[in-house]
Amino acid sequence: MNGSTLAYIGDAVFELMVRSYVLEHGSKQPDRLHKHATALVNAAAQSEMIGSILDELTEDELAIFKRGRNSSTVTSAKHQTVGDYRRATGLEALFGYLYLGRKYERLQELFKLGLERTDHDND
């Protein structure tokens, strides 16, 4: 699959992981859940997360990240830099790849490590 397609499914996977994490670790009030989730599901936060775990990726995972990052995108997110948006797309492609490959344990490992290293684990 191309990077954009992997990022498409990876975006949904990442969103679900964040929502599950927020429910387990945060307030149960909907407005606070939404605030916490949106702090994690944006290009800047995703870019920071991939930057924090890049050195932990296998060669195959790094290649998938780069495929997603370098995929041609017509638009970019509002209020985000192009660099952050491209790195976020790479992270989503990686998460899509791991999900479709049923590498759920590795997916959880990288997600948790990214939260810890970006200090989002304590929000």
With 0-12 / 13-18 / 19 or more C-beta atoms within 10 angstroms meaning exposed / middle / buried, residue 13 is: buried
What Å distances lie between residue 110 and 27, 73, 105, CA to CA?
A: 24, 25, 9
Q: Letter for the amino acid at 72?
A: S
**Contact assessment for residue 104 and residue 13, using Cβ atoms and an 8 Å cutoff:** no
DSSP helix/strand/coil, 76: coil
Q: Which residues contact 32 (CB under 8 A, 6 or more apart)?
A: 26
11 is a catalytic site residue: yes
List the catalytic residue out of 11, 31, 121, 123: 11
User: Which residues are tagged catalytic?
Assistant: 11
